[in-house]
Amino acid sequence: MDNFTAHFDATESQSANDKIHLEELNRSIALKQEVIAYMKKELARYTEMDKNQNERRENLESQRKSVMENVDENFTWQSLRMFNILKIDARKILNCQKSLQGSPNFCLSQTPKMATGQNKIYDRRLNDLSLEEANFFYRKEASSIKGEDNVAVERSAGNHSKA
């Protein structure tokens, strides 16, 4: 009987170890299933985000195409660039019209040429300036366009040169 009892006890011990191992295995499987479910949710979320981004990209592209189709054929990117570059203020145009009384069409036709020449001067000046000096130059030009008194500009110019 001792042999049988020892064998029975060993089997009992083995089955207890098997139960513990089976419980650990079940916990591991459950954890892996949770991870798989989470990964599936994340994959679905990223897929949806990618789909939305592609739709936005397509919408923007179609909007760009429709804008380009609707742009007047005489309106080129070069004219848009020129429009952005012009630095003529209203006072110069009014002064031009006053000086050429009776021929405002001539005055307005000369305005882009004047602006182009003025921009070339600005560009030559700015190429030789540091970033701080260029910012000061633009502030000075902006204040003269806004009509601020020149005394304040000269004061700031004096302060700038001392700094």
- Mean pLDDT, each 10-residue run in order, the chain (163 residues): 67 81 93 95 94 91 77 55 52 57 49 47 50 59 51 45 43
> Which residues touch 137 (CB under 8 Å, ≥6 apart)?
125, 126, 129
What pLDDT shows up at residue 33?
95
What pLDDT shows up at residue 100?
53
Q: Is 122 within 8 Å of 87 (Cβ atoms)?
A: yes
What pLDDT shows up at residue 16?
81
- Cα separation, 71 vs 10, in Å, equals 90
In this structure, the answer to whether residues 40 and 59 fall within a common structural domain is: yes
In this structure, the answer to whether residues 11 and 49 fall within a common structural domain is: yes
- Cα separation, 7 vs 3, in Å, equals 6
CA atoms within 13 A on the CB side of 116: 9
Domain membership of residue 139 as a residue range: 77-162
What pLDDT shows up at residue 149?
44
What pLDDT shows up at residue 66?
77
In this structure, the answer to whether residues 94 and 58 fall within a common structural domain is: no
